[in-house]
Amino acid sequence: MRAILGRLAICAAAAVVLALLPFTLSGLNQVLAARVALYFIAILGLNIVTGYTGQISIGHGAFMAIGGYTTAIMSADHHTNLIATLPLSFAIAFGCGVVVGLPASRLSGVYLALATLALAVSIPQLTLKFSHFTGARNGISVDGTVGYLWLYGVSWACAAILFVVAWLVLRGRTGRAFRAVRDSEVAAASSGVSLVLYKTLAFGISAAFAGVAGSLFVLATNGYAQPDEFSIFLSLYILIGAAVAGLGSLWGVMGGAAFVALLPNISQSAPLIRSIPVGGQDIAAGLVVVLVMLLLPTGLAGLLQRMALAASALRRRSGIPTAERG
């Protein structure tokens, strides 16, 4: 109980900080903070399918594209309120995730990774085949503009809601089934866990989160959905963020999202990197990713767990009773 109260206190403190933060930021930094929120949502979704059920996915940029184009098309062609498009993106991406997850439940390991990689490559290309709806290479823009503060508020409100949804799903029977599938499919099946059902459900939930992230991604990029914005690199960024956060835990997601969202800006502003004539930003970003993976092989969540264990060991040495430690 004490541990749960401690985590709730941390979440409450984070909520207060996030509520007050935009009033200390410039407009451009508010957009950057909103990008952290949308990556937070995307990484949270990927963590469900990869960290909790063990299904490797390199195609979540495709589900972000589905959500992003849903928002752009509904806004531009049907003048739907932008906030109303978010649950619609959630539902459509969930359905697409179930459609993909059902056959993908028969795959595992590198075969599943290659299948999702093909998805990430093909979905942006499909937008070129339906130019009447998607605008082909030129893309499609949402109806109207959004303010920086509005974008920040909506992004972090969605992040908070979906974090609570993920926490509720993962702490209950469904979450236990996900972890059983990840740890041993044979043992899970012998215990009565339906592998197809829970693998498909995890894909659907994960895709739905990515759909909302894709909608916010479009709003954060000047309200413009264009196929090049949803390239394979977007899927790789999400995967890197999940690895930095630490798979199988919710508590490092914020760090992974900040890492992915802020790294391009930091590497671009460094004088040494700017002096490199070609590809300096990409080289620096790659080196930083390698360094982080070497120093934190289990991600930020693993680091936090080790710190908690060290603190617990110190309390035991100081003679604090177990009941007081919670």
Is the Cβ–Cβ distance between 169 and 175 less than 8 Å?
Answer: yes
Instruction: Tell me what pLDDT residue 313 has.
Output: 80
Nearest-5° angle of CA 57, CA 166, CA 67? Answer: 55
Q: What is the pLDDT along the chain (326 residues), one digit of tens a residue?
A: 666 677 778 888 888 899 899 989 888 899 999 999 999 999 999 999 999 999 988 989 999 999 999 999 999 888 899 999 999 999 999 999 999 999 888 888 888 889 899 999 988 888 888 877 888 888 888 887 788 999 999 999 999 999 999 999 998 899 999 999 999 999 999 999 999 999 999 999 999 999 999 999 999 988 888 888 898 889 988 998 998 888 888 888 999 999 889 887 766 665 555 555 555 566 666 777 788 778 877 888 888 778 878 877 887 777 655 444 43
Instruction: Tell me what pLDDT residue 325 has.
Output: 40
Instruction: Tell me what pLDDT residue 323 has.
Output: 44
Alpha helices (H) along the chain: 2-20, 27-46, 60-78, 82-104, 109-129, 131-134, 148-171, 173-183, 185-190, 195-220, 232-245, 253-269, 271-274, 280-295, 299-317, 322-325
Question: How buried is 90 (Cβ within 10 angstroms: 0-12 exposed, 13-18 middle, 19+ buried)?
Answer: buried
pTM of the predicted structure, to 2 decimals: 0.89
Whose CA is closest to 21, among 159, 209, 224, 145? 159
Instruction: Tell me what pLDDT residue 150 has.
Output: 94
Instruction: Tell me what pLDDT residue 33 has.
Output: 94
Instruction: Tell me what pLDDT residue 324 has.
Output: 43
Instruction: Tell me what pLDDT residue 326 has.
Output: 38
The domains of the chain, with CATH numbers, are 2-325 (1.10.3470)
Is the Cβ–Cβ distance between 41 and 260 less than 8 Å?
Answer: no
